[in-house]
Structure 1
Amino acid sequence: MNENLILIECKDKVGLVAIISELMARHHLNITAMREFVDQDNNTFFARIECSGVVVNEAMLLSELQNALPESAKVTINPKKEKKIAVLVTKEYHCLGDILIRHHFNTLGANVCMVAGNYDILKSFTNRFDIPFFNISHENKSKPDFEKELIKVIEEYEPDYIVLAKFMRILSPDFVARFGNKIINIHHSFLPAFIGASPYRQAHERGVKVIGATAHFVTNDLDEGPIIVQETIPVNHTFKVSDMVTAGKEVEKSVLNRALQLVFQDRVFITGNKTIIFE
């Protein structure tokens, strides 16, 4: 029997679960799992519904749901199962390596359609997986010119998401707006602590007892976008900066992979500068 996924975001009102359930039954769809949450601050209802059965007329089901729910409801029926992603890199290989290995063994949950880097250091490694690599240097260029080239190659592949796998460039508001809520970054710190480019050194100088990593959506505010996943590990006074970097890289891979799995499975909703995650 067919398995279906329905995503709903709308203004909250009394009886929404009953309305949705009745409409599913009318279309002979059996709800096998339903997760819902109300963001009371914004009076917004979110639901992720798994149901079995055959959707005979998807357009009709969509129309009936939108008519039954509050005005301007966002409803998605059976979003694309395998997402396409573009990966942006600079010099560090550990996050890219983890993504490409999972892609190779079909455990990523998405298809890596291209990789672009502002250095060519990771080109030969990427090519081993038969994935196109584009070297777009930022040197001797203005930011608008650099990003114009980057946008051109990205849009040729029409990715669903852009993953910043240790891409050490700050993106402009125009770039971020062009791919709104579609850019995912891994930051080597437990945000909001130690934003910017050298968090492990900052953490060492502060004498922290835990370090971590944060995967988040990118906004115009540096390292302050909606958080998807965070993890920490303990450290102590014996850790040098290099020890923190080594340990932190393992956390970064784990956090980024977990965040990508949640996003690719359509388990993440964005509300303001927060996320609703149905695990």
Structure 2
Amino acid sequence: MLTYDSLIEQGKSRGLPPTKIRGILREYLQILIMKQLCKNGSQGKLYFTGGTYLRLVHDIKRFSKDLDFNTNKMTKKEFENLIENVKNELKRLGIESKIKFAHWDNVYVSKLIFPEIEKIYNIVSEHSKKEGIVIKVETNRPKWKIKSETQVISGFGEFFPCICTDRGALFADKIDALTKKSRGRHLYDIMFMLSNKFPIDRNILKTFGIKDDPIKVISNRIKELSKTELKKQAETLRPFLFEESEAELLVNAHDIIPPLLEKYKIGTATI
């Protein structure tokens, strides 16, 4: 387990805002958890995805809370055993945690709860929760066949390979989320993926019931969002951004998204 000074120094080297110490600590815990999940769940059964994937693999400049995965083969028992192994490995490092399972529908869900970690690092504040820092690990069992890519995750003295869901599937999932939920992180992530020309898997979009051109789907959804709604989403997202001024990207989405979509279409093909 890193000392407080090492934690802060490692956070600075990753470009994390030094004023957001709880965010730095959470990301450190996420990487420790990911190391065990990638090591023990990598036999073609567990594939990293979601917002924290964008953070740890593609360096998006926002904090993310949960660890999301896809699986076609893992059983509930295998998932629970995997999380228990993570808890044991963290204990070996001197980090105590508790586990709660709350599976629903097609998703395996666990919560790793760290009740004492903020006290150990002396960063208890008005933002602290009574139960401590909670990191949720969710594993979805999609109906579509998972395509994978191997990436490297590094930071806080750790360095390891991780099998991930491919980018096209994540972009399709984010487009679906954008159409169904009013959360700033989905819009921010879509801006990031458009800017970095992530491919879009249209076959997966169809499994969500989206058959139209995904560029048009994004455009139409942004037009539906009022300025008031965009401001609300921006304020909700603001505390999680490294540069809080980037919340204005959401406020001005009506002006920013159209040229982003035009640039994306040039030299980019959906799957």
With normalisation by structure 2, the TM-score equals 0.24
Query: Which structure carries more strand by proportion?
Result: 1
With normalisation by structure 1, the TM-score equals 0.23
Structure possessing the higher relative contact order (Cα contacts under 8 Å, 6 or more residues apart): 2
Query: Which structure carries more helix by proportion?
Result: 2
